[in-house]
Structure 1
């Protein structure tokens, strides 16, 4: 984890150097009514810096996945406001949200979500093909080289290992030059070696390609690849850390044991 200790902390200012990549202002997310009402997010305000790697951590039920889904426009907020870049998501209709996610946001999930009948190359460019946009071949080639897929482009998902399939998913998320990429436990289904490779690719995409990444994780080792970690508990941001190491993250997480409500 030496790289985590020596890199610059691009996220230290929370994006104050310009328009942030994403921002939440006093966001509340509640489920149910009356006595059954559960508060998943409670007045959360946060800025995500451009060109930085941000991790979101917390115990099970802390609201970390809910926060990511609200920031990415995958879930609506009960109250408060959310922006991606300078576009406010709150109040957009379904068609506008779909267009914004398609044109500005990349996603990497724990399940790879690849189409089995398409090759790796076809899966990588699929979102742009659906949108009728011509890929920037120079950029796509750079992404493919960054994630080490040059020799696997003609293979279908069934012919690839889990780690290779997740590399395809990472390349797909990067290929359209999104303003921000959200990852929900992107190494959760991988063994430690493949998981490390994916985290190194994500780190490199920030350092070498200028990408912005927000990753939900429960793994201190994975979080240590980030520039900045946001810690959630009981639906609120209770701490943050810059220039993390796995040991520091693990120590901080021990303080949250036994806390949490809804995921």
Structure 2
């Protein structure tokens, strides 16, 4: 019998991914034949210059946008083969999202915001898992507060907890520290790392910040819509040096 470990599985991937916006002379090829997999149980960062296609890649891999050609998979599920209803259910049940804007509901408490996706799905979730998650994100003493009573870093921690509450196959994070000061950003990045290592989750993060990328296990680099490099065990200095190679001399 073959035992498939978390580290040997792919949580999400795209194959020959092409995304074109517009048509004719104004067409923009945001993705140009990208094939890349994001391993389960790992923290992967996607980086590249502005306009490189990194956000487009994340949106297509997460089923928030559709490819012009090629395929996107969550596990073994081909997103392109799903109708709108099944795609909506897959995003609800198997994918978590963390965005630059916290997107919390201001009238709900922290506890209610965390469980909101489960409540909307009519699911009670795993109470033991959610309780452990509250401790991982350090919000035990804030559960009955509302977002306006929290700092920006605390609000983003609520958003992270909400993303993981349903035990999704993969959490996609789009510039999750973009609205935070450096200290709060470090807290959120450390939290994402702990979710991967302590709770065996999978995170794919788009970022422009080499310091943020250094928290990942691996960095995937895009340029002009193409995959151009991958870096294991990144450091901020190594990532910055690699990004400088993309700069066009003036």
Normalized against structure 2, the TM-score is what?
A: 0.96
Q: Distance in 2 between matches of 1:138 and 1:210?
A: 15
Q: Distance in 2 between matches of 1:100 and 1:18?
A: 22
- The range that moved more, 107-116 or 87-96, is 87-96
Q: How far 1:87 sits from its partner (Å)?
A: 0.7
Q: Give the aligned partner of residue 24 of structure 1.
A: 14
Q: Distance in 1 between matches of 2:44 and 2:67?
A: 21
For structure 1, list consecutive stretches of 5 or more residues without a partner in the other structure: 1-14
Q: Distance in 2 between matches of 1:146 and 1:235?
A: 36
Q: Distance in 2 between matches of 1:199 and 1:258?
A: 30
For the 8 Å contact 1:19–1:86, the answer to whether it is kept is no
Q: Give the aligned partner of residue 220 of structure 1.
A: 210
Q: Give the aligned partner of residue 120 of structure 2.
A: 130
Q: Give the aligned partner of residue 234 of structure 1.
A: 224
Q: How far 1:93 sits from its partner (Å)?
A: 1.4
Equivalent position SS for 1:90: helix
Runs of 4+ in 1 over 2 A off after TM superposition: 15-19
Q: Give the aligned partner of residue 38 of structure 2.
A: 48
Structure of higher RCO (CA pairs closer than 8 Å, 6+ residues apart):
1
Deviations 1:31-74 (A, max 9, x none): 11111111000000011100000000000000000000000000
For structure 2, list consecutive stretches of 5 or more residues without a partner in the other structure: none
1:145 aligns with 2:167: no
Q: How far 1:256 sits from its partner (Å)?
A: 1.0
For the 8 Å contact 1:31–1:40, the answer to whether it is kept is yes
Q: How far 1:81 sits from its partner (Å)?
A: 0.7
For the 8 Å contact 2:109–2:147, the answer to whether it is kept is yes
RMSD after superposition: 1.4
Q: Distance in 2 between matches of 1:170 and 1:92?
A: 27
Q: Give the aligned partner of residue 204 of structure 1.
A: 194
Q: Give the aligned partner of residue 76 of structure 1.
A: 66
Q: Distance in 2 between matches of 1:114 and 1:257?
A: 37
Deviations 1:96-122 (A, max 9, x none): 111000000000000000000000000
Q: How far 1:170 sits from its partner (Å)?
A: 0.4
Q: How far 1:190 sits from its partner (Å)?
A: 0.2
Normalized against structure 1, the TM-score is what?
A: 0.91
